[in-house]
């Protein structure tokens, strides 16, 4: 009799707890469904197609149309790419270029953000509007302007160098006539100009993001630090930077992703895909896929490798953020 009573009581408790269990609201998930469908159609489906193409030998448009079979090569495209010494050169170019651009973009953007935070409202609005013009300018338009600035005959830089006194120009650079000088012929000079173009186009977003983060820092902390005798540099490293560390972390990851994927600026400045010593992963993938003879499978494999690198960078950042939250 007691056993029956205990089992009945247990069943009653389970039933009561089931009734008290909070009901899952499915409305937010339903509202997100259209967005997820659009992302899946526009992003995940093409990405899946690229991954699938990387395992086949595709060298004609007829294969892409389905008129010819796709020969399966498995990891052959990846083996070919990873075993090519030129791929290591391209990877080195990409890593060094991205690292330099991330550092320069973060430094310049942070300095401009700090400047905007110190200016008055009207002057800050004026300066921010001027700075955002670079961000609002399409990458193609801005790059064409910069290519004209460095034009070897009628460019602004060529004109300025020709205005230098002949003796000074010869003593400093070894030449006095700069007309016809190929600013994009040297790989080192090409990457310097490309870095200038990319940093010019990227730093406004960093500046505005840093400015938004600075507005959330209590002014009392800065005032207390100044009263204690701390200078601007010490205030930044001891107060501002620790509080804005999550903001800087996100900006670094975003800048890394953007700089690894630079394509438009390099394509326009180089005039196509002929300048192989300056190749980076994005334009290398394009050149392999679409330059005659086309190798769509190899180009897809390079694109997948680039995607995996960016996923690793993003994963490391997410892991770092989660570890910081656990320690906190």
Count the neighbouring beta carbons within 10 Å of the beta carbon of residue 147.
19
> Within 10 Å of residue 27's Cβ, how many Cβ atoms?
7
Digit-coded pLDDT (tens) for 263-283: 999 999 988 888 888 899 999
pTM (whole model) above 0.85: no
pLDDT digits (tens, 9 = 90+) for 147-179: 999 988 888 998 998 888 888 888 888 888 888
pLDDT at 149: 93
Q: Which of 150, 149, 178 is nearest to 162 (CA)?
A: 178
Per-residue pLDDT tens for 105-135? 999 999 998 888 888 888 888 888 888 888 8
Q: Cα(266)–Cα(272) distance, rounded to whole angstroms?
A: 8
Q: Boundaries of CATH 1.10.3720.10 in the chain?
A: 85-291
Mean local confidence (pLDDT), 1-8: 48
Bridge partners, 56 (sequence order): 72
Look at residues 71, 55, 52 and name the one whose alpha carbon lies nearest to residue 63: 71
- Please state the CATH superfamily assignment of the domain spanning residues 85-291 in this structure: MetI-like (1.10.3720.10)
List, in order, residues 6 or more apart from 156 with CB less than 8 Å away.
Answer: 148, 149
């Amino acid at each position: 009799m007691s056993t029956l009573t205990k089992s009945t009581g247990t069943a009653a408790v389970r039933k009561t707890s089931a009734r008290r269990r909070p009901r899952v609201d499915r409305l937010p998930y339903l509202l997100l469904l259209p967005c997820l469908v659009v992302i899946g159609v526009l992003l995940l489906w093409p990405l899946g197609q690229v991954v699938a193409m990387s395992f086949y030998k595709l060298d004609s448009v007829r294969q892409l149309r389905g008129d010819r079979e796709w020969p399966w090569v498995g990891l052959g495209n990846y083996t070919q790419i990873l075993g090519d010494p030129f791929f290591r050169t391209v990877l080195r170019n990409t890593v060094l270029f991205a690292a330099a651009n991330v550092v320069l973009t973060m430094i310049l953007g942070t300095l401009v953000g700090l400047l905007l935070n110190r200016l008055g409202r009207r002057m800050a609005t004026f300066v921010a509007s001027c700075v955002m013009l670079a961000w609002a300018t399409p990458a193609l338009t801005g790059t064409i302007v910069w290519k004209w600035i460095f034009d070897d005959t009628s460019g602004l830089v060529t004109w300025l160098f020709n205005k230098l006194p002949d003796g000074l120009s010869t003593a400093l650079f070894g030449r006095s006539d700069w007309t016809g000088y190929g600013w994009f012929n040297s790989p080192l000079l090409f990457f310097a100009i490309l870095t200038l173009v990319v940093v010019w186009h990227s730093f406004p977003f960093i500046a505005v993001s840093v400015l938004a983060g600075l507005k959330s820092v209590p002014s009392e902390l800065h005032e207390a630090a100044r009263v204690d005798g701390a200078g601007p540099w010490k205030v930044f490293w001891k107060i501002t930077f620790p509080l804005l560390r999550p903001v800087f972390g996100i900006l670094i990851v975003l800048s890394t992703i953007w700089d690894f994927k630079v394509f438009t600026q390099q394509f326009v400045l180089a005039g196509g895909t002929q300048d192989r010593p300056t190749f980076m992963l994005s334009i290398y993938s394009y050149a392999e896929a679409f330059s005659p003879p086309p190798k769509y499978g190899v180009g897809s494999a390079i694109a997948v490798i680039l995607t995996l690198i960016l996923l690793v960078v993003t994963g490391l950042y997410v892991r770092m953020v989660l570890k910081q939250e656990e320690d906190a």
